[in-house]
Structure 1
Amino acid sequence: MKRWILLFSLSFIVGNIALGGRNKDSLRITREIYAIRATEHIYINGRLDENVWGKSDFANNFTIYEPYNGLKAFQQTEVSVLYDDFAIYIGARLYDTSPDSIFRELGQRDNSDRLRSDAFSVYLSTYNDGVNYLQFTVSASGVQTDIKITSNQSDRNWNAVWESAVGFDSLGWIVEMKIPYSALRFSKNINQVWGINFSRLIKRKNEVSTWNFVDKTQAGFITQSGILKGISGVKPPLRLSFLPYISGYVDQYAGTKGLDSRVSGGMDLKLGLAQSFTLDVTLIPDFGQVRSDDKVLNLTPFEVKYDEARQFFTEGTELFGKAGIFYSRRIGGTPAFYDTAYDSLKTNEIVDKNPLETKMVNASKLSGRFANGLGFGFFNAMTENTYAEILDTVSGNRRKLLTQGFTNYNITVLDQNLPNNSYVSLINTNVYRPVDSFTSNVTATEFNLKNKKQSFGISGVGALSQRFIDSVQHGFKTNLSISKISGNIQGYIWANIESEHYNPNDLGYLRSPNEISSGAALVYKVFEPFWKLLNLEARLEFSNSRLYNPKVFQSQEIEFQAKFTNTNNFTGGFNASYNPRYGYDYYEPRVEGRKFLTPHVLWLQWWGSPDYRKTFALDHRFSFWYADMYNQKGYMYSISPRIRFSDKLLTIYSWAYQSERNNIGYYDYDGSNIFFGSRKLVTITNTLSIQFAFTAKSFLSIRARHYIRHFKYNEFFTLKNDGLLEQTNSITNPENRNYNLFNIDMFYQWHFAPGSELVFAWKNQAEELLDNPQYRYFKNIEGIWNSPQNNSFSIKILYYIDYQMIRKFKS
């Protein structure tokens, strides 16, 4: 053991001397490249055969970003920049001494930097503000990716309309890009000065290199960019585009034999206002082709938060995410008075129809940034009246019940860029429902301040919520964090307060307010390869939580995390957490003022992810937890093999199994006694994903998910006032459950023209709820297969119309 420790220590020291000890100071310079005006038409064909390319300035001498940060790139790269009155052009010659070894896997748009493929990227910061920039990436297989990045938050749902092409020869490969000014926002200055950087990924080596050196030990990628000069006499164009669509649906609902069909149409409009603002409007929106939610059987007292998949709410909404008070699924979500349809039933009545979602009439968003770095955003959406239909089974009469009246949603945000990649924001959300005179208003500020060396930062959030129903309900939130963000040793301390009546949930998401919490973390990062590792990160964190009112103890946790990547590109990690004090859960009893004593819990987890460049890779995860009360324990494991059959076909299968013995949870409340139950809880999730790329612009994805959760009660308790449980025999017919859910989502996408696409979708869903658990897996398969199913077939065509292209064509 001593020899192993000595060997490890020597390896660490030698590795740091050889790699980490290199002098990077000479690399920390801001490089410049000049764009020249193109005097001839540039054909985007992947050949760089126009004469003007040979006269342009070159960006070369790339430096490795990872894994050996600071070394000279092993392959040469040369990049040139041209411009005219309509667009900026990027030409990259990527030399390769083994051109036959260049990886070229095909895949879906916006995923080109995650494929088994070489890739080239350009990063543009048109205001050179150190906070906001755009990334345009092209893979060696021709797949495009565009990403909007703000303060280290990336938005892959942002889509620009631009052109690219790749070519290959005996020297390596070539990338050509044409990025129209209509895809960018920039000032009216005669002489433009933009932040710019280029990166290259050589996938067979997992080597990423950049033109302007980016030090991994320092925070901030765009703050370490170079400068683009030379663009002169270019005016921001009128940015006006239309995206009309037409869609058709054929639906078959569970329990019915007939088919419902419908045809709809609408349009998205983008209009540039002034030099840097864009108005996005969606008229008669259609969101029927989004992927199905990964639904679960929820046994907690908290609402399940699902991801947003509707493109209008995911694209270009980075400003509206400030302070974390906007959850877009509220718009078009479950009606506010959905349950009243069932509570209002009279004799012989049943609920015949009760929509789970409100219908959106339209939505619009205006966002942009002034030359002084002040960003402004405004969002508005409206949903129409939503009714439940109640049927009298004797007379046949029907009546409608309003479950949510017309509702208007507003968001206004101001965001000021500050020096050193810092910012401060002010945001307000408002929900107004005139039918019941309901108003909800939340105002918040968020700030993130960093020093010039990007080594320390202080960030925070302050928020005030107001809800006007019969009376006014006020609440507030404050959050503050002080961090060391660069170097091998990093860390932070934080504190958070949420008052008892703080409630942003009419347009936001918060599991539970009424909390005072604080914590600290110490992080150690090794950026340079040493021994047999490429990198290493270890984190130790402590947190403590109390209620805001009354100020009583709630929970305490110590957590340790470690992750690494070795020289075989295997990434793994170990997590452990422990609750050193008995705590109290004030939410699981579901009755205000009551509490449930929680035990000491030890939780351990290992996870691993092999090199995705290989034909076969097996992701895996194992965890185990143990509690010192009520004989509670559980385990979870998941395996996810992925097989790359070719550069066009990839399959990913995932199996996850979780078992909890003596899971303790709320069961019932009879008005005086709260009953808890002990149950064996089993959750199985089975997912298969098939991805086939016909070309760089034509992609088929199929995803099937089978979710099972079942539990059986073995013991019941009465919750005492001190939080302890007392066994009871008063529950005689327990409500055990077996829940089955099966989904298939199939989407075929064809980008037949820039910004235009055809989408065909098939969505299938079957659901089953039984009174007793079914432990045999294939019996569950048989049950869900024989259950009534919902099927939806749809086709949608979107066509992009750009005013500048029409103007150019006419001229």
Structure 2
Amino acid sequence: MSLLATKQSTKEPIIMLKYLVSCILFLYVTNTLIAQNEVAKVQREYVTAQLPVDKEIIIDGKLSDSEWDYVQWDDDFTVFEPNNGKKASQLTKFKITYDSKFLYVGIRCFDSIPSKIESRLARRDNFSGDWIEINIDSYNDKRTAFSFNVSAAGVKGDEFVSQNGDYWDSSWNPIWYTASLIDDKGWSAEMKIPFSQLKFGSAEEQIWGLQVHRRYFRGEERSIWQPIGLDAPGWVSEFGKLKGLKNIQPQKQLEIQPFLVNQFDSYPAQNGNPFRDGKDYKLNAGLDAKIGLTNDLTLDLTVNPDFGQVDADPGAIALDGFQIFFEERRPFFIENKNIFDFEFADGNDNIFYSRRIGRSPQSFATITSGEFVDEPTNSTILGAAKFSGKTKNGWSLGLLESVTGNMYADVEDVAGNKRSELVEPLTNYLVGRVQKDFNERNSFVGGIFTATNRNILDNLDFLRRGAYTGGLDFKHNWKNRNYYVEGNFVGSHITGSESAIALTQTSITHLFQRVDASHVSVDANRTSLTGTGGKIEIGKAGGGNWRYDGGVIWRSPELELNDVGFLRQADEIKQTASVSRLFLKTTNLYRKANMQFSQYSTFDFEGNYNRVQYEFQGFINYKNNWWTEVGAAHKPRIFSNTVLRGGPRWRWSEENFAYLFFGSDSRKKMSFTLGYVNSQAAQNNFSLKRYVLRLSYQPFDAFNLSVSSEYEENPNKTQYVTEENYSGTARYITGSIDQKTFSTSIRFNYSLNPNLSIQYYGEPFISRGTYSGFNFVNNPIAKKMEERVTMFSENQISKATSNDAYLIDENIDGTVDYQIENPDFSYVQFRSNLVLRWEYIPGSEIFLVWSQGVVGAGNPNETLGKNLNRQILDQQKDNTFLLKATYRFIL
């Protein structure tokens, strides 16, 4: 049967899109009509007073300074979790005062059994044991806040809160001062927060959002000053008020932080290779700066940034051909990330993906026999500047500019002749973002623009010369923010040589060469592509026990974001819906619980109905703080346009999957999580079994150890292998793969004091796949698996002795028609970091780092255990030792 003849006729996508939009509009009208008037909440107020000019508070945690007498205590905390709204079991009191430059917070946490206060040492931003935090919405925008936390052990924590409490950014590290003290009444804490670390506009009297939040560790009780119901639509929007801040002047921030790095690398030497003589030494210096243009808006600068102490990425391998998403870990790009964020669809799709800046070079040097090459691992960031902030009028502004330099691979032959080859061009990245709050901060509209421009030379003309994206987004909340509608629209335009645009058209993201697609085709003469995407969603986010939402997402075939964004797949229209039931009232069985049912369907722009999924999820937190999470899904329809990498549309057998996770009380010295995931496809097409074990152990207050292990078996009878030519016809070859993967991450932290700690991270990762049962695609959308493929008989396939390839004599005439390279693999990776970190004064640090790593290929025919032993334990590893010192000048 012809592949083209198997294509099913379907409705045009525009009809489906109109139908889905009509459903969204129906939900909007329904929500508006049924939403009941909410009971007005009582917003508490704390009125502070200014210290006299000659008065100063010493931050020692004692609360003994007479200056505290100028302001009154406030208390009457209520429980947030588990018994929401009830009076807190332990008394908490606080005071707030200020002078011309600092905000002072004093807190008294009474405890009925002071000897049982949990005082655990940890690194900064590790919230262990008993703690107290103050949240300040100095923008008063009801969406963002600055959080300052201190534990009973004196460990400091700070986070920038955005998205109304949905995102807490612990990479924000302001300069502030704190101390805590345990006594016979409980424990107390003092905080001294410079106004320069907060953002606010000029006003005769400042009115800020305020929340004080205590964790009573022994009873696992969270109590708060401003009552918030568990059914609230967010966190920041529910704050109380801090008043009485009169005639304080916004403080313009000016900080300069130079750094110096000494680095020594040792690794196995390679005979004759001048680039692998066994050791390297580097001396590096750079500068970070933070300049407050106004109190609201900050300019961040970095020159020759160093990210040597950043954790290595976890091991991963993808057989589907798609790129792997890795989280950003570099401080410069993480800070104020919320302003630049533009998640326009679902998953990780984002117009701005900062890991593109400083990426690994996209080309490789061409070498001949007798030549050695030194390839750069990352592009050098020559400099970057970031202008960001939010004004008192509700304008969120962000502008990021970065330049990465020309990157060369150095080549040298055995005679000592040297040359360099350009592998990544000089590139400029620009990202601009703006949002405006209105409707009493209940709504916003915004936009984003990005530009990537490369200085392309002849040998790199496969790269796109320019890439530009733009987007508009909005969100409207009503009925006390319990209901919302949100959406966005994005557009992209890329330019480049004919070869660059042809490569884009045929990439895994687009696959215009698909043989059965009539709505896309490769045009080898094109020098640009323009595409669109977007989302619209409406739902109920708060109030009562029910939540629901529905939406539509689309990505046109020509949408391309991957120059400075992240886009996994284009050519998709997706409908989503979910409904959740929350069980918020504590019972004798549980503290809280929830369950959710969700559904989605996908289509492509030709109208093909590709996928539908129904899923159930449930979670329960028991009275003893143990917990269970369960889920199950049914996928009766699974079609894919990408499995055959440009071949016809492919059908998978229907799939069912389920998972079960449960864990013990995380407060205990020893806690664990056990998990199991099982996926099974009809006709035994494919399956997945994943086993998860996580352990956490804290034998004493200054030390904690965690281990997280996963083992996975993922067999598949129709795993794509390659495409071959047989008598002028494309042959899409698949095979039966037996894939096993194992990884374990190990972390420990030992804190000598709140500012001096030793931390270790290590992860071995092994994935092995062996193939058998090779076959070729016959009818790719047949319902039965045996009709989709035809197995090669013993007379058709044999194995070569010279190169380990498989020889195919499809017509059994004694002549090899084509051959298949042996696809068996075994990928092995080990990464580790041992870091001593000393914050010798606030904002200034010394790092001593020892990193180890090895990456290689094992023997696919051996077990994971043997590969672990031979390729990791028995191998000499690459070692990096570095000493980094920073000093933060505050001017």
Give yes or no for TM over 0.5.
yes
Q: 2:610 & 2:372 partners in 1: Cα distance?
A: 41
Residue 505 (1) aligns with residue 562 (2): yes
- Uncovered stretches (5+) of structure 1, i.e. residues with no partner: 1-24, 804-811
Per-residue CA deviations over 1:203-258 (Å, capped at 9, x if unaligned) read: 11111111111111111211111111111121112310111111110001343453
What is the SS of the residue equivalent to 2:341?
A: helix
Match of 1:3 in 2: none
Maintained 8 Å contact 1:663/1:681? no
Match of 1:160 in 2: 174
Residue 435 (1) aligns with residue 462 (2): no
Q: 2:614 & 2:371 partners in 1: Cα distance?
A: 51
Q: 2:241 & 2:452 partners in 1: Cα distance?
A: 44
After superposition, residues 201-600 of structure 1 pair within 5 angstroms as 201-255=215-269, 256=276, 258-323=278-343, 324-336=350-362, 338-339=363-364, 341-342=365-366, 345=367, 348=369, 350=371, 352-391=373-412, 397-418=417-438, 419-436=440-457, 438-470=465-497, 471-486=527-542, 487-548=544-605, 550-581=606-637, 583-591=638-646, 593-600=647-654
Maintained 8 Å contact 2:742/2:864? no
What is the SS of the residue equivalent to 2:300?
A: strand
Q: For 2:251, give the aligned amino acid.
A: P
Q: For 2:408, give the aligned amino acid.
A: Y
TM-superposed CA distance for 1:721, in Å, is: 5.2
Match of 1:133 in 2: 145
Q: 1:298 & 1:197 partners in 2: Cα distance?
A: 44
What is the SS of the residue equivalent to 1:54?
A: helix
Identity value in percent: 26
Maintained 8 Å contact 1:122/1:198? yes
Per-residue CA deviations over 1:164-186 (Å, capped at 9, x if unaligned) read: 00012211111100000110111
Maintained 8 Å contact 2:136/2:147? yes
Match of 2:6 in 1: none
Match of 1:725 in 2: 789
Q: 1:793 & 1:61 partners in 2: Cα distance?
A: 52
Q: 2:334 & 2:191 partners in 1: Cα distance?
A: 25
What is the SS of the residue equivalent to 2:617?
A: strand
Residue 766 (1) aligns with residue 854 (2): yes
Match of 1:609 in 2: 663
Residue 791 (1) aligns with residue 818 (2): no
TM-superposed CA distance for 1:634, in Å, is: 3.0
Maintained 8 Å contact 1:349/1:390? no
145-154 vs 792-801, which moves further: 145-154
Q: For residues 502 and 53 of structure 1, do their structure 2 counterparts lie closer, same or farther at Cα, with a shift above 3 Å needed?
A: same
TM-superposed CA distance for 1:27, in Å, is: 9.3
Maintained 8 Å contact 2:653/2:685? no
Match of 1:36 in 2: 49
Q: 1:280 & 1:659 partners in 2: Cα distance?
A: 46
Q: For 2:342, give the aligned amino acid.
A: K
Q: For residues 633 and 435 of structure 1, do their structure 2 counterparts lie closer, same or farther at Cα, with a shift above 3 Å needed?
A: closer
Q: 1:369 & 1:204 partners in 2: Cα distance?
A: 39
TM-superposed CA distance for 1:544, in Å, is: 0.5
TM-superposed CA distance for 1:776, in Å, is: 5.3
Match of 2:63 in 1: 48
Q: For 1:79, give the aligned amino acid.
A: F
Aligned length: 768
Q: For 1:621, give the aligned amino acid.
A: G
Q: For 1:768, give the aligned amino acid.
A: G
TM-superposed CA distance for 1:778, in Å, is: 4.5
Maintained 8 Å contact 2:858/2:867? no
674-683 vs 314-323, which moves further: 314-323
Q: 1:74 & 1:28 partners in 2: Cα distance?
A: 23
631-640 vs 742-751, which moves further: 631-640
Q: For 2:702, give the aligned amino acid.
A: K
Maintained 8 Å contact 1:413/1:427? yes
Per-residue CA deviations over 1:451-500 (Å, capped at 9, x if unaligned) read: 04221111112100000113221000020111111120111001111000
702-711 vs 632-641, which moves further: 632-641
Q: For residues 631 and 131 of structure 1, do their structure 2 counterparts lie closer, same or farther at Cα, with a shift above 3 Å needed?
A: closer
Maintained 8 Å contact 1:31/1:226? yes
RMSD: 1.9
Q: 2:835 & 2:116 partners in 1: Cα distance?
A: 32
After superposition, residues 653-732 of structure 1 pair within 5 angstroms as 653-662=707-716, 664-671=718-725, 672-720=730-778, 722-723=780-781, 724-728=788-792, 729-730=796-797, 732=799
Per-residue CA deviations over 1:3-32 (Å, capped at 9, x if unaligned) read: xxxxxxxxxxxxxxxxxxxxxx99931111
With the length of structure 2 as denominator, give the TM-score of the two structures.
0.84
Maintained 8 Å contact 2:196/2:253? yes
Match of 1:11 in 2: none
Q: 1:330 & 1:173 partners in 2: Cα distance?
A: 47
Q: For residues 666 and 174 of structure 1, do their structure 2 counterparts lie closer, same or farther at Cα, with a shift above 3 Å needed?
A: same
202-211 vs 354-363, which moves further: 354-363
Maintained 8 Å contact 1:420/1:451? no
Maintained 8 Å contact 1:33/1:57? no
Maintained 8 Å contact 1:599/1:627? yes
Per-residue CA deviations over 1:62-98 (Å, capped at 9, x if unaligned) read: 0110001100111111111110011100001111111
After superposition, residues 85-234 of structure 1 pair within 5 angstroms as 85-112=100-127, 115=128, 117-151=129-163, 152-234=166-248
Match of 1:746 in 2: 834
TM-superposed CA distance for 1:351, in Å, is: 5.8
What is the SS of the residue equivalent to 2:433?
A: strand
Residue 775 (1) aligns with residue 832 (2): no
Q: For 1:517, give the aligned amino acid.
A: K
Match of 1:647 in 2: 701
Maintained 8 Å contact 2:139/2:390? no
Q: 1:513 & 1:662 partners in 2: Cα distance?
A: 25
Maintained 8 Å contact 2:51/2:70? no
Match of 2:504 in 1: none
Match of 1:625 in 2: 679
Q: 1:670 & 1:392 partners in 2: Cα distance?
A: 36
Maintained 8 Å contact 1:767/1:787? no
Q: For residues 773 and 416 of structure 1, do their structure 2 counterparts lie closer, same or farther at Cα, with a shift above 3 Å needed?
A: farther
Maintained 8 Å contact 1:195/1:228? yes
Maintained 8 Å contact 1:157/1:316? no
Match of 1:79 in 2: 94
Per-residue CA deviations over 1:306-336 (Å, capped at 9, x if unaligned) read: 1111111112221111343111110010223
With the length of structure 1 as denominator, give the TM-score of the two structures.
0.92
Q: 2:240 & 2:86 partners in 1: Cα distance?
A: 18
TM-superposed CA distance for 1:636, in Å, is: 1.1
Q: For residues 26 and 175 of structure 1, do their structure 2 counterparts lie closer, same or farther at Cα, with a shift above 3 Å needed?
A: farther
1:755 aligned to 843, 848, 872, which one? 843
What is the SS of the residue equivalent to 2:471?
A: strand
Maintained 8 Å contact 1:710/1:738? yes
